[in-house]
């Protein structure tokens, strides 16, 4: 069965709708006339490559979505997509490893766009000791599945309801930004993993909505952690643009003391 290639206008309309922008909204953002944009979408006018890149920038199209638009407009793809072990990404991979190592004795990990584990520092091992189904740790490891699975970390997350709601909302935001169908499937899978009866859902109880902590029961006691996400600032490679480092910090002094003590054991 033959499939029809999607036109540039199809791409532009889809991204506009995803961003909830009218033609006028986008035209104003790009500082062009609505008529010009209408002609581009209908195929009556062909944009220059620079104009197309400007439109994708104003629409917040991820690098992964820009190459198909360039191709649809008759231009060569601009953004490479290399594997992380490609020599061209060696310096970036080294930077990730340096950040992960420097964050010890606190946990940190690197993930791709689908929350697949790419790398982790030594402190992550402490968080995973209670995982009942060790197959969840066989590669490729999906961090979200591992966190919310009833045979994974879920039974040891003291505030599971709160943490689950936080993670699911992050995935929804990613889907809104990327329209990634794989993330859509992952969200449905995660929603089917019901929290245990002992969930706590006291969002804002300790942090007034400023940060959602991960409260994890471990052999060393309950660790309370808050996280930050770091991404590369100006990537021009698709793989690199989708790489994120999740760094966990102690949310209280007891957690900090425990992790520092374990580093020397």
What domains are there in the chain, each with its CATH number?
8-72 (1.10.260.40), 87-263 (3.30.450.180)
Whether the model clears a pTM of 0.85, i.e. scores above it, the answer is yes
For residue 4, what pLDDT is reported? 61
Measured distance CA(172)–CA(194) in Å, rounded: 17
Helix axes 34-42, 49-59, angle to 10 degrees: 100
Q: In 3-state terms, what secondary structure has residue 95? A: helix
Measured distance CA(154)–CA(163) in Å, rounded: 10
For residue 2, what pLDDT is reported? 47
137 has pLDDT over 70: yes
CB 90, CB 234: distance < 8 Å: no
Measured distance CA(233)–CA(248) in Å, rounded: 20
Alpha helices by DSSP H, listed for 33-159, are 34-42, 49-59, 63-72, 90-102, 124-127, 143-148
Angle at 140 between CA 136 and CA 143, to 5 degrees: 60
Measured distance CA(210)–CA(198) in Å, rounded: 24
Measured distance CA(116)–CA(142) in Å, rounded: 4
Arithmetic mean of pLDDT, 1-15: 82
Measured distance CA(234)–CA(116) in Å, rounded: 22
Structure tokens, 159: 């505030």
Q: What is the mean pLDDT of the chain?
A: 91
Measured distance CA(254)–CA(220) in Å, rounded: 11
Task: Give strand pairing partners of 214.
Answer: 225
Q: How confident is the model at residue 263 (pLDDT cuts 50, 70, 90)?
A: confident
CB 142, CB 186: distance < 8 Å: yes
264 has pLDDT over 90: no
């Amino acid at each position: 069965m033959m499939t029809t290639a999607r036109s540039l206008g199809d791409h532009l309309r889809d991204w506009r709708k995803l961003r909830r922008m009218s033609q006028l909204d986008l035209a104003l953002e790009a500082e062009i006339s609505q008529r010009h944009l209408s002609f581009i979408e209908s195929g009556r006018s062909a944009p220059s490559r620079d104009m197309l890149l400007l439109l994708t920038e104003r629409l917040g199209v991820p690098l992964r979505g820009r190459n198909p638009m360039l191709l649809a407009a008759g231009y060569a793809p601009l953004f490479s997509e290399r594997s992380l072990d490609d020599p061209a990404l060696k310096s970036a991979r080294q930077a990730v490893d340096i950040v992960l190592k420097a964050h010890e004795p606190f946990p940190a990990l690197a993930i791709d766009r689908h929350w697949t584990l790419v790398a982790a520092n030594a402190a992550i091992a402490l968080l995973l000791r209670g995982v009942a189904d060790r197959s969840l740790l066989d590669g490729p490891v999906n961090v979200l599945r591992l966190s919310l699975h009833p045979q994974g970390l879920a039974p040891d997350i003291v505030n599971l309801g709160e943490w689950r709601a936080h993670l699911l909302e992050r995935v929804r935001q990613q889907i809104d930004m990327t329209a990634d169908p794989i993330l859509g499937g992952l969200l449905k899978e995660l929603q089917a993993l019901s929290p245990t009866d002992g969930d706590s859902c006291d969002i804002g109880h300790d942090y007034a909505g400023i940060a959602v902590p991960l409260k994890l029961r471990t052999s060393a006691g309950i660790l309370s952690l808050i996280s930050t996400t770091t991404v590369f600032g100006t990537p021009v490679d698709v793989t690199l643009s989708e790489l994120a480092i999740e760094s966990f910090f102690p949310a209280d002094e007891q957690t900090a003391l425990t992790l520092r003590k374990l580093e020397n054991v």
